[in-house]
Amino acid sequence: MKKLNIGIVGAGRIGKVHAASITYNIPQAQVTRVTDVYYPAAKALADTYGVPNWGTDYMDIINDPEIDAVLVCSPTPTHADISIAAMKAGKHVFCEKPVDLTIEKIKKTAEVAAETGKKLQIGFNRRFDHNHGKVQKLAADGTLGNIELIKITSRDPEPPSPEYAASSGGLYIDMMIHDFDMAMFLAGCDVKEVYAMGTSLVDP
């Protein structure tokens, strides 16, 4: 059986996680090309996981006819443009969240997925966690009774750098969207109203 050829855009922390997952856990797929604007990062990932092609220009992945799917693991402001380019080039896309910091670009990305018929998956990985899946099943079949409150606590090990906070949208957009997704997943419905209040324990 032909393996699914995957290109990874972004060789940082999450790019490495996906490269390891594909290499060691998904025998039906292989990473055949990786790019990162920082050349040493692309080469290091390629060396570690035996990726035959690497470089700095993500268009090398977009234009590679042998690549079937693209993993977008680059900084948030680049997600939408890379995803759109990949789908228009006939490739399926797994994009790390968030898709973008603007609702307009998020909608545009979804429109291109519909127009091209290509699969677009956003990195809400907690839906695929066995523990969360078990809780969702118990909630859906009524075992847990009438659920009136879902409380989710999330923490990062340390405050983000000012540079990361500025480009990612901060922890509310970059991390807390996992909590919104989990709340909808566990409740079995979409959000109808949002109220928020907050403070800062640490100012990076």
The strand pairing partners of 30, in sequence order, are 5
- Four-way CATH pick for 4-123: 1.10.730.10, 3.30.530.20, 3.30.70.100, 3.40.50.720: 3.40.50.720
In the chain, % of residues over pLDDT 70: 99
How far apart are alpha carbons 28 and 43 in whole angstroms? 23
Q: 133 CB contacts (<8 Å, ≥6 apart)? A: 127
Domain chopping of the chain, boundaries: 4-123, 127-187
Tokens at 21, concatenated? 């997952």
- pLDDT at 153 (0 to 100): 86
pLDDT, tens digit, for every residue of 95-122? 999 999 999 999 999 999 999 999 999 9
Would you say residue 166 has pLDDT above 80?
A: no
How far apart are alpha carbons 110 and 98 in whole angstroms? 13
**Peptide bond before 98: cis, by omega within 30 degrees of 0?**
yes
Query: What is the overall mean pLDDT for the chain?
Result: 93
The pLDDT-based confidence of 175 (bands split at 50, 70, 90) is confident
pLDDT, tens digit, for every residue of 20-38? 999 999 999 999 999 999 9
